[in-house]
Amino acid sequence: MTRAAKLTFEDKTIELPVIEGSEGELAVDITQLRAEMGLITLDPAFGNTGACTSAITYIDGEKGILRYRGYPIEQLAEHSSFIETAWLLIFGKLPTRAELDRFSAQLTAHAPLHESFKHHFEGFPVNAPPMAMLSAMINTLSCFHPEAQDLDEAAFFEEAARLVSKVRTIAAYSYRRSLGLPFIYPDPKLRYVANFLHMMFSMPYDQHVATREVIEALNLILLLHADHEQNCSTSTVRVVGSSRANLFASCAAGVSALWGPLHGGANVAVLEMLEAIHKGGMSAEQTLALAKDKKSGFKLMGFGHRVYKNFDPRAVILKRSADKVLGQLGVNDPLLDIARRLEELALSDSYFVERMLYPNVDFYSGILMRAMGIPTNMFTVIFAIGRMPGWIAHWKEQHETEGMRIARPRQIYTGPRETNYLPMAERK
């Protein structure tokens, strides 16, 4: 028997169906509320609003659970790779060996950019933000591949592989452009992450060979960021995609949403905070004291999470990786020393423990990428590379949903009522 919630307003009552998700979460279906009652809901920032049903990612923030297509993130981090996880998210199941080999071959084939792309990069100022270039160049793919507008199953596979592959090449070229360095072509002998690092750091006369530890750590960062349910950028991809915008345009919009400092820029904020602490000569102990003083106005970046009220499972995984990689790399960096001391003190401080303000994924991803030699202005770009499979998966799921409608939120108007136009001479 279908459960329902009753809403009464003045002399009218409506029964609203209650939808139950596969993990037991409940939602009130209000699709007929305006038509039958003349009411809409008001939910700024959509914190209590479900915009869709989705079979891609499940999060339980109270229990610290994150699953991709039902698979616990802990298992995927231990046994899978970013590319296998990308397939899982986009196509809904773990790939067979043949499917994974075919997907990997397509990624290799699509890694190079059309030579004309170089001219587009040359049009940007040398100091242009890499995220601005990334969004613009992903949108530019629509010009080189106009067939992406209407995709059958085979064509979608091709375009998904093309975007997952080319996003790292565009990212690397954006970085090279920002430094005025020559572009480095992808190497078909290298796998996904190693190839990206090669395009980032090699020179024509000196090929960069990343260590196994760095490759594994970056692969893990990408995997852990591959999807996170209906966050700001994923919701943006869905809103833009609901107009039937093509895959490239929709994901370019996702990059723009991710660019915001309240979303993808969180790990950048961690490093900026560490730099400020270092320059100011503060100790980790003094920093935590400031964070606990509500009158100080100081905010400790990289601790706590809007969704996870217990712990961020991705942070737990990255902490182990950071412990391992930083030890192996032997990096001598005062900012990393401050970060590790802040972590040590916060995890044993009752103020933070009682409030469950644990280091989050942005804290550990920031210090890991710094240890790898990735510059701060590329942190959000790395995030975008990792999140690309999730965006593609949501775009695909939305387009396969029967009866999909263009997104069109309502509003509560609070401006002036009808006002008569006054000629200039009569205005005060």
Convert the pLDDT of each residue in 261-310 to its tens digit. Answer: 889 988 898 889 998 998 988 888 999 999 998 888 888 898 888 788 77
Instruction: Say how far apart CA 371 and CA 192 lie, in whole Å.
Output: 20
Catalytic residue among 120, 198, 228, 362: 362
The C-alpha angle 223, 227, 230, rounded to 5 degrees, equals 165
Q: Is 60 a catalytic site residue?
A: no
Q: Is 278 a catalytic site residue?
A: no
The residue type at 364:
Y
Say what the pLDDT of residue 358 is: 85
- For residue 72, give the nearest of 223, 269, 296, 235 by alpha carbon: 223
Whether the model clears a pTM of 0.75, i.e. scores above it, the answer is yes
Where along the chain do its domains lie?
Answer: 4-50, 72-257+379-399, 266-372
- DSSP assignment of 191-223, as one string? -HHHHHHHHHH-BTTB-----HHHHHHHHHHHH
All residue ranges of the chain with pLDDT < 70 are 1, 148-150
Say what the pLDDT of residue 304 is: 84
As to burial, measured by CB atoms within 10 angstroms (0-12 exposed, 13-18 middle, 19+ buried), residue 106 is middle
| Residue 57 β-bridge partners | 68
Q: Which CATH architecture has domain 266-372?
A: Orthogonal Bundle (1.10)
Give residues with Cβ within 8 angstroms of 329, minimum separation 6. Answer: 211, 213, 214, 371, 372
Tell me: domain 72-257+379-399, CATH 3.40.50.300, correct? no
pLDDT in tens, 87-103: 999 999 999 999 999 99
pLDDT in tens, 217-261: 999 999 999 999 999 999 999 999 999 999 999 999 999 999 998
Q: Which CATH architecture has domain 4-50?
A: Single Sheet (2.20)
Catalytic residue among 305, 323, 349, 399: 305
Whether 352 and 303 have beta carbons less than 8 Å apart is answered as yes
